[in-house]
Chains A and B, each alone.
Chain A
Amino acid sequence: SQTIHQWPATLVQPVGSPLSLECTVEGTSNPNLYWYRQAAGRGLQLLFYSVGIGQISSEVPQNLSASRPQDRQFILSSKKLLLSDSGFYLCAWSNLMNTEAFFGQGTRLTVV
């Protein structure tokens, strides 16, 4: 069966520090991978998606970047965090037809 692992579950980082959130998927090949953010009082905002190794599409201009070094690994990064980067980050994968998406448990990031 397919599973998705996302870590860490919570993170408190000072402003200006770097960020690396990792997500790995098991039990499937060549998934579409996504990073979403849910800010307080807002919906799910798509940040990045990837249809293959090294292929990253960015949805919104921001202080974050994403990389896909392996088929089932998706990394969300920042060189210098801002206060506005605080939020709940979710990794997800979907099948090629996008008929369903499966989410990780999320990372609560607080930038202080």
Chain B
Amino acid sequence: DQQVKQNSPSLSVQEGRISILNCDYTNSMFDYFLWYKKYPAEGPTFLISISSIKDKNEDGRFTVFLNKSAKHLSLHIVPSQPGDSAVYFCAASSQGAQKLVFGQGTRLTINP
């Protein structure tokens, strides 16, 4: 049972444009969401997070939007840069749960 889903395995965006990565979840108990970025042969690194009490969190070029009624979150990167090319994972957790649940990842490619 895939509780966190990233339905787009890959995304290609022109440099300077906006990249939008999507994530859906099924467990209504999730109350904290995170995005990670992963380069090949490296561990994922934390990008940005959002609590379920908010619907938007912004950090520089990265903004995460949360739509609780739709059980959907998205990561916006603007403007996209070549160094943003990586695999992006969304993750979710709930208070009292003992683990983070990750999506399958989306490979983002920024074209010059």
Interface residue ranges, A against B (CB under 8 Å): 6, 32, 34, 36, 42-44, 46, 49, 51, 57, 88, 90, 92, 94, 97-106, 108
Contact = CB atoms under 8 A, between A and B. Distances in A.
Contact of B104 (A34, A43, A100): A43
Contacts of A42: 104
A90 B44 contact: yes
Point out which of A34, A43, A105 has the most chain B C-beta atoms below 10 A from its C-beta. A43
B99 A49 contact: yes
Contacts, number: 65
Interface of B: 6, 32, 34, 36, 41-46, 49, 89, 91, 93-95, 97-105
A99 B32 contact: yes
Top 10 closest A-B pairs, CB basis?
A103-B43, A43-B104, A98-B93, A44-B102, A43-B105, A49-B99, A103-B44, A106-B43, A105-B43, A51-B98
